[in-house]
Chain A
Amino acid sequence: MSYTVTLPGRGTFDAWREAARIAISHRIPPDEISWTGGGGLFAAAPLPDTPGPHQTRVPGGFLKLAGSVIWHSAPERTALLYRALWQLDRRQGDPLSQADPLGRRLNLMAKSVGRDIHKMHAFVRFRELPSEGRRRFAAWFEPEHDTLEPGSSFFVKRFADMDWMIATPGLTARFEAGRLTFHNGGARPDLPEDASESLWATYFANIFNPSRVKLDAMRSEMPKKYWKNLPETRLIPDMLRDAEARVERMREAAATPCPALEQPPCPPATAPRCQPRPNGRKQWVKRARPPCNADAVASARRQHRPSGAKGSRRHV
C-alpha cells in the first residue's frame, strides 16, 4: 500500500469521486490504495493534491451504481468501486454487467442499499414533540446501511411544513424552518409517548385478516431487523397465535339468517282483480291487499344491494 485515503462520514460520495478522479489520473493501481485509512505495515502517503495527465471517461451507469453502492455498510465498498473504475479504464471485463463477478457484487450491494432506503421511507415512525408554531416531530431509526443521507429527500418533500428530526446511530438529520442539516449520530434519544401510536395500533389490529396468514410474505415485506422500532409489531405474535382459533370460531358461528327474507311467502290473491261494469267495459278495482311480508322483503333486498348498483337504475 503506497497511498491511503480517509473519507468523511458525510458527503462521502463527492469525496470518493474526487479522490478516485485524482488516483486514476495518476494511474495508481487499486492494490496500491488503502481506502479504509490503515496503511498496512509501511507508512503510506496521502494521494497527490493535483490531478495527473491521464483522463478517463466512464459510462453514466457507473456513476449511478457508485452513487448507490457508496452508502453500503461494507467497509470494502470504496475499494471495490475504485477497482471497477480501474477495470473500466483498462477495458478489462465489464464491471457494470451482472455476468461479471465484480459487477454482480456491486449490483447486489446497490440493490441492498435501494431496498434499505425504501424500507426507511416505510418504517420511520415519528413522535410529536411539544411546540409553538410549526409542529415538531422526531424519530429514531436503525438502517442497515448509511441510508439516511440519500433517503432524506423523500421526507423533505413529504413533510415540508413541519420541523422534524430523524436520528440514527451514524447520522442525525434535522429539518428546521425548511432547511435540512446533518449532524453526528448517537444513542437513541428519549422521545415522549405519542397518543396517535395507540390509534395506529388499533387500526393495525383491525385490518388483520386471520384467514390470510402468510408468514413468509410478511417477513419479506417487514423484515425482522426493523421490528424493534415499530410499535405495531408487538401485536403480531398475539394476533398470529389467535388467528386459527378466530377463523374456527367464525366458521362455527356460520351465517345468521336474514329475518325479513325468512318469512313465508304472501298468501295467494283470491278475489278477481277486474269486474265488469254496467256499461260492459271492464274496470280495474283497487283492492286492499292482504297483509304480507312482501314489503319487508323488498326493503331488505334494497338494503342488501351493493351501493354501486344505485347509479345504474334507469328511469322508464
Chain B
Amino acid sequence: MIIGADGTDDVTILKSSTRLYAGYKLRRVYYSAFSPIPDASSVLPLVQPPLLREHRLYQADWLLRFYGFSAEEIATGTNAGHLDLEIDPKLAWALQHRGLFPVEVNRAGRDMLLRVPGFGTRTVDRIVTERRTRSMRYEDLVRMGALMKKARPFITLPGWSPGGLTDSADLRARFAPPPEQLSLL
C-alpha cells in the first residue's frame, strides 16, 4: 500500500491489512511511503516521504501477524488514528493498558509475554523453553537479548521489581526522544 499520497489514517490502513490477511489469505502486505517522482500530477503531495510512518506501520503489521494484536487494539495507542511516531506501537499500547502490567515473567502465558514491550517472538520462545527447567532471573533476560530498558517497567521476576515505575506519570517521556528546539530563523 502506498502511504501518505492521500489523507488515509494509519488505523484505516491497518484495518485494510487485516482484511487482506484474514479474507484473502495474503502472506505479506507491504507499505511504501509515497515518494515524489519527477513531473508528477499536481494533486500528489511533493513532500519528503514519511519514512518513519512507514516504519511504524511495519511494526504494527508485525504486531498483527506475530504478536496476536488486532487493529482495534493497536488503535487504542494512536493519536486520532495515526500511530505515535515517537514511540513504537507496542509500547504505545502498553502505556494505555498499564493495568495489565507488570507481568510476572515466570508465570505469564505466552500471549501476555508477547505483549511486553522489548520482548520479541524469539525472546518469548527462549523464555518459555527455559522456564520449564528453572526459574528465570533478571540477568538471564539480559543475556537472552531482551531490550530491558524498554521491558523493565512492565515486568517483574526474581532480581527485579518495577515498584511505582509502571504507573509513573513520566513513563512515556522516558522513552520518547527529547524535545528538539526548532530553528528560530
Contacts and interface: CB of A to CB of B under 8 A. Distances in A.
B130 A212 contact: no
Contacts of A257: 42
A279 to B, nearest CB: 54
A188 interface: no
A178 interface: no
A59 to B, nearest CB: 13
Given A250-B36, A256-B39, A98 B144 contact: yes
B41 interface: yes
Interface of B: 33, 35-42, 46, 48-49, 51, 126, 129-130, 133, 136, 140, 143-145
A304 to B, nearest CB: 9
B33 A99 contact: no
A234 interface: no
Contacts of B126: 97-99
Interface of A: 94, 97-101, 104, 209, 211-212, 214, 247, 250-251, 253-257
Given A99-B144, A104-B143, A104-B144, A255 B136 contact: no
B51 A250 contact: no
B145 A98 contact: yes
The 7 closest A-B pairs by CB, nearest first: A99-B140, A255-B42, A98-B144, A251-B46, A99-B130, A104-B143, A211-B35
A253 B36 contact: no
B35 A99 contact: no
Given A251-B36, A253-B38, A97 B130 contact: yes
B33 A212 contact: yes
A209 B133 CA distance: 51
Contacts of B129: 97
Contacts of B143: 98-101, 104
Nearest to B123: A98
Contacts of A253: 38-39
B42 A212 contact: no
Contacts of B38: 250, 253
B114 to A, nearest CB: 17
Nearest to B40: A255
A101 B129 CA distance: 16
B45 to A, nearest CB: 10
Nearest to A252: B46
Nearest to B145: A98
Contacts of A250: 36-38, 46
Contacts of A247: 36, 48
